Amino acid sequence: MSTPPQQSGFGHPQQSPQWGPPPPQKQRNGWKIATFILGGLFFVSCTANVVNSSDGDESADAKPKATQSAEAKAAVPTSAPAAKPKVAEKPKPEVTEELPVTITAAKAPFKKTIFHDSGDYTSLKVTVTNNTDEKISVNPLYFEVKDAGGVKYTTEVFGGETDLRAVDLFKGEKASGTITVKGKVDAVKVYYRKDGFGTSYSAPVK
């Protein structure tokens, strides 16, 4: 008795190629493509970070450079304006308080009168100025003369021919004439006593 041949579809079914898993070769190619794409994206991302980092560094570097430039300009000393030459100040005249009565005295030649003998006499020319609001009296007898040794001499009643006359002086008025002392005197200073009994004023003999 013969065995009938087995028909297709019975027993162990044969798997068709379209229903099974893809061949190993195709699976490996897919992973390569995916890896390549991921690697490209990673490379692009890194490159962008590097570019951004470079831009940031340049910006960071640019700011300090600008600041340093401004500081450098500020540090440069500007030329100071030329100092004006000092003008020599004129010395101010000394202000002296005006005395109520001022006198001057200078050496003068003696001219004798008939009242004098042949002895030695010394004459001095004096000027008296009244700076007060009051009247003052001037008389040759109101004077004294001091010599280099400190000795004082009184004036003669009848002195020289050009002797000072007795007068009254009002404000701003002055009187001039000579006073005479007996002897050859090295006169250095003259004294005048106001009104003959008041304040004494003096002047060096020129």
pLDDT of 9-25, one tens digit each?
444 445 444 555 555 55
State residue 82's pLDDT score.
66
pTM score, whole prediction? 0.52
Report the first-to-last Cα separation within the chain, whole angstroms. Answer: 191
Taken in order 54, 57, 61, 63, the sign of the CA dihedral is: positive
Q: What is the pLDDT of residues 41-73, one digit of tens each?
A: 666 565 555 445 555 444 444 445 555 555 555
Which value, in Å, is the radius of gyration of the alpha carbons in the chain? 67
CB atoms within 10 A of CB 187: 20
* Token pair of 92 as six digits: 């101010």
Angle at 10 between CA 9 and CA 14, to 5 degrees: 55
SS3 85: coil
Q: What is the pLDDT of residues 80-106, one digit of tens each?
A: 566 666 666 766 666 556 789 999 999
